[in-house]
Structure 1
Amino acid sequence: MMKSFLLTIKPIKYFFRGRNFLNDPHYLEVQKKNRNESLKRPSRTIILNFLLSIKQGKTSYLEIGVRNPDRNFNHIEADLKYSVDPGIEFIENPVDFKMTSDVFFQKLSKNEVLSNDTKFDVIFIDGLHLAEQVDRDIENAFNYIKDDGFIVLHDCNPPTEWHARENFGYRNSPASGYWNGTTWKAFLKWRFNSSINSCCIDSDWGLGIFSKKYQIGKSIEPTNAFFEFSSLDENRKEYLNLIDFDTLKNILLE
């Protein structure tokens, strides 16, 4: 009776509910995966700079979704580099093209920015992490990538379903503020394309890489028709062609 009465008092009720939540085994497991994933190396910057380093002559780089350029863009080593971001998450937004990726590619096709015959060595996609938008970014990027270039996606390997949620704003979850969205679905869809080679580096939340020239990984037959996360979780290595960075370097430098 006393316990029931105490639980009617809001501060006490919130204490017990909060304690139960924070000690929940599922919550603790996701927190552990948060820590493990955030400690994985190398970073996206190192991987992107490596891909640029194997190119001959002057290099060109495009980044879609920059937020704070000090986190990656400013550290990219390319002769020419351009950035695109509408500035929703970083008010200063010191980028080259202050617009969405859809608007940028539309303007690029019309010669309203740069030139429609522009081709990049590496295009890095890290914009809105929803499958429909990422899929569109990939399709547009293939129109402006060199034959021997690379398209790279961030957030292709969400460690749990909480990280792969559609709504970024839902932070009261075991994943806390970490958000990979549904990027993995767009990456998997393009893994079914027999004309494209692909792999995913198991670092920095999953760096998905596409190439038309380099044999970094064969396509797979269409699978997981409804893009269910549980199926991804059980078949990560196959679905994503999940490899480590050293394996990628061995493939590209052999």
Structure 2
Amino acid sequence: MTKIKRFFYNRRVVRYYRKGKAYLNNLEYLKTQQESKKEILKKPSRTTIINYLLSLKKGDTTYLEIGVRNPEHNYNHIIANIKYSVDPGIEFKKNPVDFKMTSDMFFDKLIKDEILTNKIRFDIIFIDGLHLAEQVDRDIENALKYIKDDGFIVLHDCNPPTEWHARENFQYKNTPAGDYWNGTTWKAFLKWRGNSSVHSCCIDSDWGVGIISKHHPLGKSITTVNTFYEYKTLEKNRKEHLNLIDFESLKQLF
């Protein structure tokens, strides 16, 4: 390597080192990393919460999971008499599910009586598919048509710890949150928090486990509090806006 090439190479290395060091020591980066670690340690898991809600039911239980990915992460550990799963197989190519399709297609076929029966009603529908507000909102609306009167809709990723976790683009991982991604599920959940026809709460565990019910007194609806769904507004009023509670408080409701 010539002296000139070596000179420019060394300058580039120093520049990348300085920028990288500054990034890794940035307060926003460090805070986000810390929040990720705290969230991972929170208990119980969504699986435990779902199984608890199912245990409240008398008789046989029927369960539907939307967005399964690897079934070992949750689906296989759910205790219900009858279980169905929906996933298009984008993130887990083996995709050993009952209905290999999107949730939109599943509900469209269900309402047309082309799969199962449109008379079916579920004790719990767990929504963990595409984590974007518009899709989650549609999934909630469709799920409400097919849960029993005393059933529950459960949602994952309703309480992103930082704005980096709540980014829209999952593929862009060069953020302080890295691979951790909750998407904009929280916006859809917050929208339904403002709907007086349902009751809702969010368990402060496993990235926020939202629960919606037609009749169980999980929490009263709220008036519109975050018109433009700004994350900073959520951050300042998280407990009230999401009706954020711990698992023991959920148990006490029943």
TM-score range, shorter chain: over 0.9
- Report the TM-score when normalising by structure 2: 0.96
1:98 maps to amino acid: K
Which of 47, 50, 53 in structure 2 is aligned with 1:51? 53
1:43 maps to amino acid: S
- In the TM superposition, 1:190-229 aligns within 5 A as 190-229=192-231
2:188 maps to amino acid: A
1:46 maps to amino acid: T
Which of 6, 19, 22 in structure 1 is aligned with 2:21? 19
Shift in CA distance, 165/107, structure 1 to aligned 2, threshold 3 Å: same
After TM superposition, give the deviation of residue 161 of structure 1 in Å. Answer: 0.4
After TM superposition, give the deviation of residue 8 of structure 1 in Å. Answer: 6.8
After TM superposition, give the deviation of residue 6 of structure 1 in Å. Answer: 7.6
Deviations 1:65-94 (A, max 9, x none): 000000000000000000000000000000
After TM superposition, give the deviation of residue 9 of structure 1 in Å. Answer: 2.1
Structure 1 match to 2:137? 135
Distance 2:170 2:212 in 1: 26
Deviations 1:143-179 (A, max 9, x none): 1000000000100000000000000011000000000
Identical-pair percentage: 67
Moved more, 243-252 or 8-17: 8-17
- In the TM superposition, 1:120-199 aligns within 5 A as 120-199=122-201
Deviations 1:47-67 (A, max 9, x none): 000000000110000000000
Distance 2:8 2:44 in 1: 50
> Aligned pairs, how many?
248
1:237 maps to amino acid: K
- Find the residue that maps to 1:16 and give its secondary structure: helix
Structure 1 match to 2:102? 100
Structure 2 match to 1:235? 237
Contact 1:7 1:13 in 2 (8 A): no
- Find the residue that maps to 1:21 and give its secondary structure: helix
After TM superposition, give the deviation of residue 219 of structure 1 in Å. Answer: 0.4
- Unaligned segments of structure 2, at least 5 residues: 1-6
Distance 2:144 2:215 in 1: 13
Distance 1:210 1:8 in 2: 58
Contact 1:6 1:13 in 2 (8 A): no
Deviations 1:123-157 (A, max 9, x none): 00000000000000000000100000000010000
Distance 2:50 2:9 in 1: 54
Question: C-alpha root-mean-square deviation of aligned residues, in Å?
Answer: 1.1
Which of 66, 88, 91 in structure 1 is aligned with 2:90? 88
2:67 maps to amino acid: G
Distance 1:108 1:8 in 2: 63
Which of 94, 115, 118 in structure 1 is aligned with 2:117? 115
After TM superposition, give the deviation of residue 25 of structure 1 in Å. Answer: 1.1
- Find the residue that maps to 1:97 and give its secondary structure: coil
- Report the TM-score when normalising by structure 1: 0.96
Distance 2:93 2:52 in 1: 30
Distance 2:245 2:149 in 1: 23
After TM superposition, give the deviation of residue 7 of structure 1 in Å. Answer: 9.0
1:185 maps to amino acid: K
Distance 1:170 1:152 in 2: 27
- Unaligned segments of structure 1, at least 5 residues: none
